[in-house]
Amino acid sequence: MSILEIKKFPDPVLKKHAAEVKQIDGRIAGMLNNMVDTMYTANGIGLAAPQVGILERAIVVDTDTENRGRKLVKIINPEVTEASGEITIEEGCLSVVNFTAEITRPRKILVKGWTVDQQQVELEFEDIDAVCIQHEIDHLEGLLLVDHISRLKRDMYRKRLRKQDSGGGQGGGAPKI
């Protein structure tokens, strides 16, 4: 497998809407496997295809950092069909370095999508798993963590980014999704 380059804010590809995957084949399976390897190498718990410069609707998530692979989910063309409750969690992002923010999202979601085996699935997620799935689906829509905060905080982050050396480390204690 290959480790892919994770695009960093403000890379314009991160603001683009990802296209629906029309054909699930070996290329998509390989891409998802490379995304999993990239996510694990970066110590993340989620990764969307646009984060590695691929504008297709595909995500990988594994919130179990102690037992990698045990909760691994790969979803093609994911869509939240039901949502309930509310949870606020401090989120980080592999594409938005040295930044975290408390974001409120639905606590429980039902997601419809496809597996690499061309099976349509409906999966329920809650708590951190639901947050991570929603965060990755945001990436498919061209939305970033910084889009969930005030303009003032976003401008402060941009200013701080300009002052830092390019390619700086990952800050904050939140999981990088």
Q: Is residue 159 very low, low, confident or very high in pLDDT (cuts 50, 70, 90)?
A: confident
Task: Kindly name the residue from 82, 86, 91, 136 that is annotated as catalytic.
Answer: 136
Question: Per-residue pLDDT tens for 30-59?
Answer: 999 999 999 999 999 999 999 999 999 999
> Which residues 6+ apart lie within 8 Å of 115 measured at CB?
74, 75, 76, 121
Measured CA to CA, the distance from residue 20 to residue 58 in angstroms comes to 8
Phi, psi dihedral angles at 53 (to 5 degrees): 80, 15
The pLDDT of 105-129, averaged and rounded, is 98
**To the nearest 10°, the Cα dihedral for 157, 46, 3, 69?**
150
The pLDDT of 60-84, averaged and rounded, is 97
Residue 174 pLDDT = 63
> Given a cut of 70, is residue 172 above it in pLDDT?
no
Q: Is 108 helix (H, G, I), strand (E, B) or coil?
A: strand
Residue 175 pLDDT = 64
Strand 73-84: give its sheet, edge to edge: 46-48, 58-61, 73-84, 108-114, 120-126
Residue 154 pLDDT = 75
Residue 150 pLDDT = 78
Residue 152 pLDDT = 79
Residue 170 pLDDT = 45
- Decide if 56 is catalytic: no
Domains of the chain: 12-163 (3.90.45.10)
| pLDDT, the chain, mean | 92
> Which residues 6+ apart lie within 8 Å of 141 measured at CB?
17, 18
The pLDDT of 130-147, averaged and rounded, is 96
